[in-house]
Structure 1
């Protein structure tokens, strides 16, 4: 990772303008907490604002927030922003009690609240200021945040604020491309199915993924019939799907060692591996060498539950350590970013491979510290394939508030734009 470039925070408007860029969308009905490391911004945490039952006794909720933020071991302060149109209320339904509890919990965790704000659809204000000279009601116009210098600089650097995860619009694909990919995918899947336990086939599949992700970025999202069909077919084999995720974060050696540890390979001589060697342009149809037939499946991968339990093997990170973000110390973010682009393309056509691709995207989003997007991807995968086990397991982690190990450490965390804010 290169040394990040600094961004200068000049006032509250800059901090509040940074939040949507950090999350990727403008939050609503949300509590956003940001840790401070001296004068530097640290980790960003977003949660849904609690309901009346929690607000009646917000202390346990506040302690939970403090526990999450404690993952930033260098934090010595906290900033709070409540994105709600109820920030001007008093009495039942207001969030003053929640703020008091958060102040107490974070002070006890040695991360005292330095400032707190309410941000609505039209106005924003300091949560505690009652002086009409500097904090007039109903508040300052939201345009001050949208037009802040830091927000302008973010946009200049190429950062954009998209819709919330639940409002993402599905992309469409040309019908000719869809039909061609699905036809080729069925043929590749039939050919690969009897090679699930072949070490040679595993190496061929992982080698293709590795080379693709290391290639030119502009080619990753380009629709290519035969390549996309092969990749989608490979995601139907859970052992290969998991190896791709581990490879992207920790390298090919870790992926191969973990697959060996799981006992995925059959030592007996099996069919020769099928190797994808090129691409077929959309207008030319399918290659003459497309596989045909449907050999029966033999054996199978380990249950997904074991993915989060396995340890290390021969000095390389274990699958569980990688999937939880504990190892390696810093993941291969460029490769993971590339994988996210490819999985996004493969998910467009739906079906079981799309569930696998969306689950992979959800894991990458979780590794980036974007729990809302992560949950949305997992839920979309489960809509396509109810009971998809890996999506269920990882969604449970998100719902429990578990943070990815990399996201919890500043030196390992993903950086959307590269800079620190200070």
Structure 2
């Protein structure tokens, strides 16, 4: 695959959109650089209230410094807040705090872009100076054309849309019957059978039968089986607790993880709300592994919508809220597509 060359702001905004997979809103996006080489991409919600600029800057810096080769960054502020005539750009205090904290860590800001709903301009342009260009001009950038040629698209938002479930009542009864059967088995035998079935699904190239889907959904209702199946996903032979927290010496098999997410979404369409929380939580957890924090949060909230008492979803969402990053994403050689999307 040919390397991309970013020559102007339109190229940069196109790169951000295709890297994240969606057009950000009310967001700060930073891209780390090592000389002229692009490193990690971070998207994080802009602060909602004034007075927290320094703590926000420290949080952003902690994410950016996970790329140990970074020497500088470029950033883009996406906001619907209008620029007032003769006034600094919106979130100027945030960018000032970030500049200082990054400097303390040996990282400089090379450039910045201000992106409104329909135009973009240099972030450091003088107050009242209008040198903006329409957002639509990014459609004609060389980088956008190259990404489209590779089959990439930019979604208008990051909001997830779940596929519609199929026949709920019959599926629910079948899952419950299978759950009761699993309860009668010795725990080790149930664990071994569940792992064997799931591994076969992960190694296959086709979606499983409805009967196997029913068994998979039933298996995920048991926390000890669920944890084992989750640790089977990345294809790593290391302790399960290291795998679950993405703290392994071996890099994950990202294509296998992507396929696991497709299998779980397929299983979701064949379950009912009373059995959906473990499936949705696991999909959320996969998104956390991938550095897609905002999508992970959405899946976890959907899991809690179906079962407000599902503890694993609540604990996972608290982990996200604390800003904890999956270990694989602290190393650009193991990170998924080398970007972080944090709520």
TM-score, normalised relative to structure 2: 0.90
Between the aligned partners of 2:325 and 2:62, the Cα distance in structure 1 is 11
Correspondence for 1:194: 184
Residues 107-118 of structure 1 mapped to structure 2, 5 A cutoff = 107-118=103-114
Q: CA deviation at 1:324?
A: 1.7
Partner in structure 2 of residue 86 of structure 1: 81
Q: What residue ranges of structure 1 are gaps of 5+ in the alignment? A: 255-316, 418-422
Aligned to 2:199: 210
Contact 1:116 1:127 in 2 (8 A): yes
Task: Supply the RMSD in Å over aligned alpha carbons.
Answer: 2.4
Provide Cα deviations, 1:341-378, integer angstroms capped at 9, x if missing partner: 01112223342432111111111111111111111111
Matching residue within 323, 341, 344 for 2:244: 323
Please state how far the C-alpha of 1:250 moved relative to its aligned partner.
Answer: 4.1
Residues of 1 paired with 2:315 and 2:2: CA distance? 37
C-alpha distance in structure 2 between counterparts of 1:116 and 1:5, whole Å: 26
Give CA deviations for 1:121-155 in whole Å, capped at 9, x if unaligned: 110011013399xxx62611101223322122222
The alignment status of 1:145 with 2:138, answered yes or no, reads yes
The 3-state SS of whatever aligns with 2:130 is coil
Query: Secondary structure of 2:327's match?
Result: coil
Aligned residue pairs: how many?
Answer: 337
The CA deviation string for residues 217-247 of structure 1, in whole angstroms up to 9 with x for no partner, is xx23x7x321211111111111111111111
Shift of residue 85 of structure 1?
2.5
Q: What SS class does the counterpart of residue 326 from structure 1 fall into?
A: coil
Structure number, greater radius of gyration? 1
Within the candidate set 213, 224, 237, 1:228 is matched to 213
Distance change >3 Å, CA 52–CA 199, structure 1 → 2: closer
Distance in 2 of aligned mates of 1:163 and 1:86: 18
**Gap change, CA 1:158 and 1:10, over 3 Å in 2:** same
**Shift of residue 113, structure 1, vs aligned partner:** 0.6
Is residue 322–residue 328 contact of structure 1 (8 Å, CA) maintained in 2?
A: no
Provide the rounded CA distance (Å) in 1 between the counterparts of 2:145 and 2:200: 37
Residue in structure 1 matched with residue 256 of structure 2 by the alignment: 335
> Matched residues in 2 for 1:5 and 1:335: separation?
25
Q: Does 1:35 align with 2:1?
A: no
TM-superposition CA deviations, 1:373-402 (whole Å, max 9, x none): 111111111111112111112111211111
Residue 160 of structure 1: how far off its partner (Å): 2.3
**Paired residues for 1:279-358 under 5 Å:** 317-348=238-269, 349-358=271-280
Q: Which residue does 2:71 correspond to in 1? A: 76
Distance between the aligned counterparts of 2:144 and 2:272, measured in 1? 36
Match of 1:17 in 2: 14
**Take 2:145 and 2:35, find their aligned partners in 1: how far apart are those partners?**
25
| 1:170 corresponding residue in structure 2 | 162
Unaligned runs of 5+ in 2: none
**More deviation, 349-358/184-193:** 349-358
- Equivalent position of 1:259 in the other structure: none
Between the aligned partners of 1:356 and 1:22, the Cα distance in structure 2 is: 29
TM-score normalised over the length of structure 1: 0.74
**Does the 8 Å contact 1:365/1:374 carry over to 2?**
yes
Alpha-carbon shift at residue 93 of structure 1 (Å): 8.4
**Which residue is equivalent to 1:374?**
296
1:322–1:151 Cα change, 3 Å? same
CA contact 2:29–2:44 (8 Å) conserved in 1: yes
Match among 330, 333, 342 for residue 411 of structure 1? 333
The alpha-carbon deviation at position 405 of structure 1 amounts to: 0.9
Over residues 295-320 of structure 1, what are the superposed CA-to-partner deviations in whole Å (9 max), with x where a residue is unaligned?
xxxxxxxxxxxxxxxxxxxxxx3333
Which deviates the most, 365-374 or 325-334?
A: 325-334
- Within the candidate set 223, 233, 244, 1:238 is matched to 223
How far, CA to CA, are the matches of 2:166 and 2:304 in structure 1?
Answer: 25
CA deviations on 1:77-101 (whole Å, 9 max, x unpaired) are 1111100122623659832222121
